[in-house]
């Protein structure tokens, strides 16, 4: 029997929310989905855990610094067609920060912005599903 193996890309995404009901979104600077809004995240480097990649990508793309230990896991998204570039599996994490936390676009993010959770733009990939799952885990705002 012949086995066919598929190349799988390992990524991490981060849902960053504020205690007053905002979420951090980047504007993608590259294809796919150039110009669309997405969660901060990206590829895991060789030998890197997804949690460490999530903390690194958050700092690189949005200027928000968190230790890997501060990022609880939301879940794993592995649908075969979730990314037009091929098979991508992502592990998503969550971080809650105070309102007014400074952000700065970097790396492949063309822009970064706090968005009210009740007035979100459409999101690239399956990031709306990831955000919904993270909000189910987050404590309600006081």
Give pLDDT tens digits for 5-58.
899 999 999 999 999 999 999 999 988 999 999 999 999 999 999 999 999 999
Counts for the chain of helices (H) and strands (E), in that order: 2, 7
| CA atoms in the 13 A half-sphere facing the CB of 44 | 19
Confidence band of 1 (pLDDT split at 50, 70, 90): low
Catalogue all structural domains in the chain, each as residue range(s) with its CATH number.
10-137 (3.90.79.10)
Question: How far is the C-alpha of 24 from the C-alpha of 43, rounded, in Å?
Answer: 19
Q: Is the pLDDT of residue 75 over 70?
A: yes
Distance (Å) of CA 58 to CA 30, 83, 92, 117: 17, 20, 12, 19
State pLDDT tens for residues 96-135: 999 999 999 997 899 999 999 999 999 999 999 999 999 9
Question: How far is the C-alpha of 46 from the C-alpha of 55, rounded, in Å?
Answer: 15
Structure tokens at 117: 């959770």
Q: Is the pLDDT of residue 142 over 60?
A: no
Confidence band of 61 (pLDDT split at 50, 70, 90): very high
């Amino acid at each position: 029997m012949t086995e066919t193996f598929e190349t799988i890309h390992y990524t991490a995404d981060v849902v960053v929310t504020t205690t007053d009901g905002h979420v951090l979104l980047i504007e993608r600077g590259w294809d796919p989905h150039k110009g669309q809004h997405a969660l901060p995240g990206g590829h895991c480097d060789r030998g890197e855990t997804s949690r460490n990649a999530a903390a690194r990508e958050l700092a690189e793309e949005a200027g928000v610094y968190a230790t890997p230990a501060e990022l609880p896991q939301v879940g794993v998204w592995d649908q075969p067609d979730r990314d037009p570039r091929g098979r991508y599996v992502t592990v998503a994490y969550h971080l809650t920060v105070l309102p007014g936390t400074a952000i700065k676009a970097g790396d492949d993010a063309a822009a970064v912005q706090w968005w009210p959770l009740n007035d979100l733009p459409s999101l690239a990939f399956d990031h709306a599903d990831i955000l919904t799952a993270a909000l189910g885990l987050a404590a309600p705002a006081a």
